[in-house]
Structure 1
């Protein structure tokens, strides 16, 4: 029997989605962007929200439309290609890079300031506890909405409200003067910085997890899943937007507190300490720890669900235990090397993921989805690989003529052209009797 969610469960689903997206990186980058945006704060924020919130929302909508995560998104691709794309995204975002990084950020901001002489043993003990907690919640299959959405996320939200109100009520200075690119093109710079958060990839990962959470609540119809996932996305997007606005404003008014910041984490730390005094570090530690932990829980759970869907013989519990163990090891011994490997792969895959999201949203209107998917995603991959290669220092001067190459967006125009050409190609020119597969 297909069930409906109670209003409280719908809100909890939105809070859970918000908590999954709000990693520590999302709270560290906006203050630095706000610092440089200064009196060009408004256009910078609008540009940032357009991509940092808008693109993940599109990703969630694509998942909601497909009602099956990445495997369903890639239904017009060869099965091996779709599987390879999904595995690459999940491996980078969970064991190889994304989730181990959440533990290190939590350690740096929530443990190091309180430890007399933190070292290898301190890190090992912290990450052991951290991933044990994440694994505990990930093993509660079917209870993520109740555990994360109704318990952890509200606590995180309350702490963020305390910080946000403090920033608005007691700003630590006047809004500064715009600097660097934000002085001349604040909207464009905001758009590019929002894009570089790459949270649209996280949407593809968490979308499948949310679908599973809905099924565990008895919501099995595609129409209801689309409805609830869309509402959850709007709740999460609203929450993220409010957090980003507060943190941009924090950064814009931080020039007296941190006149020469090295990073957004420094701005955030010193600003909160200036507002709340000695208690500020405790508040900040709690915020960062919970933000990182919820992302780790969501990432490990999503990885388990994806691998189990891919091969039901691989038990979910064993997959998440293995993933948490690998994350623990990587966080202690191999993250810096993996970052150097993962970053160019991430840059190469991200354009493909973005193109896949947009194709899914218009798939019902495509004359020949297989052709349009193949051509568009191939072009996105080719130029994505160029973007990835450029991040490791290889000179690709011959691509300087491409619009937005310096910003890592060389793929946009060629991919758009490939989409338009392949989508508008008359079916008769493709062999007359080609059978067009209609998107579900």
Structure 2
């Protein structure tokens, strides 16, 4: 019977499903490294990280629920922008970056367990083929994601994380290390920018499709009910991720004296688990990474396949999903370092636009009354973020006029242009309104 509301048990499963779709490679390796590098400044650094790592993605889920799909949001800027931005978003969180990263990161964790003398190239190829075959087969049933992620792999992942984080909680560091690099001078802002690397804000604009499908399958079909249940799932997933993020950061803080020069969160987690549990700990961490990455891979293949099959219905979902799995398998064999190097400029270009869209989506009733605000604010943000990212990727050190803007030294030179664009949009909107004649 359709009640327009999920039971508490159903809502819990949907929330765990959303958590499992979000919580992947980046979510595992970034907080421990932040904790290690931030040291005594870990609290403000984590506050900044939680804003972009949890706050913005949860707002993204809610904004999509309030204002429509990611296409509905982007179309308010311009139809052409909607086509380009939405496709770029799906490709970024899908086959071009995030999906290959799931396999590459999982393999990095299994590498220490491989027999000596085994060819890493051959091992990586075999691992990626098996990994993406399993992910593709499971993604063939997107409506069953709640049963799979919410009831089986999601709880298993949480249990393994509690195992590793609990060991760090019961063996705290005797003193905090000094903060490294930018965490020493601007910990909160450094944490904020570090949150970009999770890619969760971009993902939040797309995961709503699959989550909404699962909620409909559970009997909630009215718009108000869907918005409410998607928001509840987002809040649950956000709280759960926040607790785990803080625990993972604590792991990094506690191991800092042992690995002061560590540059990889996976190395930190493996060292912590090995310190407390020996070889068993290394196996547990490898299992955590495999589960987390497989969960996210399944969700991303499902989301990307659903979107592109809707956009190009002549090609069925299963063909899109297979194409993304095969392409991602090929890209993953270039190695994790190559994928991460490519990710930084792409995320720096897209994240500012996504942030502006989400903020305006939360205020869509006000912004829709002044329609010029959308193209002006997002347009100026896009010019600054794309130009800066291209410079950083291909012309490192070259000067841009945007470098003199406020917050440029913090990597946020797009903030003032976004506000200026919004102001211009307000003026243009009011100037374009015809005065009503007195009757």
384, 400, 425: which one aligns with 1:422: 425
In the other structure, the counterpart of 1:273 is 274
CA displacement 1:171-212 (0-9 Å, x = unmatched): 355322223322233223222322443321111121222122
In the other structure, the counterpart of 1:283 is 284
Could you say what secondary structure the match of 1:80 adopts? Answer: helix
1:54 maps onto 2:58 in alignment? no
Name the Cα RMSD after superposition: 2.2
Number of residue equivalences: 432
1:375 maps onto 2:376 in alignment? yes
CA displacement 1:31-88 (0-9 Å, x = unmatched): 1211122122222222221221111111111111134x22222242333321211111
8 A contact 1:176–1:253 mirrored in 2: no
Cα displacement (A) at 1:424: 5.4
431, 434, 439: which one aligns with 1:432: 434
CA displacement 1:136-157 (0-9 Å, x = unmatched): 2110131111111111100001
**Which deviates further from its counterpart, 329-338 or 19-28?**
329-338
Structure 1 Cα separation of the partners of residues 343 and 322 of structure 2:
22
CA displacement 1:344-402 (0-9 Å, x = unmatched): 34322222222111111111113645311111111111011122113214212433211
**Which deviates further from its counterpart, 3-12 or 137-146?**
3-12
Cα displacement (A) at 1:2: 4.3
| TM-score in terms of structure 1 length | 0.92
Structure 2 Cα separation of the partners of residues 287 and 53 of structure 1:
20
Structure 1 Cα separation of the partners of residues 365 and 90 of structure 2:
27
Structure 2 Cα separation of the partners of residues 158 and 353 of structure 1:
33
In the other structure, the counterpart of 1:403 is 406
Cα displacement (A) at 1:433: 7.2
Structure 1 Cα separation of the partners of residues 346 and 186 of structure 2:
29
1:108 maps onto 2:108 in alignment? yes
Could you say what secondary structure the match of 1:74 adopts? Answer: helix
Structure 1 Cα separation of the partners of residues 368 and 300 of structure 2:
36
4+ long deviations beyond 6 Å: 334-338
The change in CA–CA distance for 1:340 and 1:270 in structure 2 (over 3 A counts) is: closer
| TM-score in terms of structure 2 length | 0.92
In structure 2, the gaps of 5 or more residues are: none
Structure 1 Cα separation of the partners of residues 20 and 124 of structure 2:
24
In the other structure, the counterpart of 2:199 is 198
In the other structure, the counterpart of 2:70 is 70
Structure 1 Cα separation of the partners of residues 385 and 435 of structure 2:
34
In the other structure, the counterpart of 1:412 is 415
In the other structure, the counterpart of 1:438 is none
8 A contact 2:370–2:425 mirrored in 1: no
CA displacement 1:113-143 (0-9 Å, x = unmatched): 3342242221111111111111121101311
Structure 2 Cα separation of the partners of residues 47 and 166 of structure 1:
26
Cα displacement (A) at 1:110: 2.4
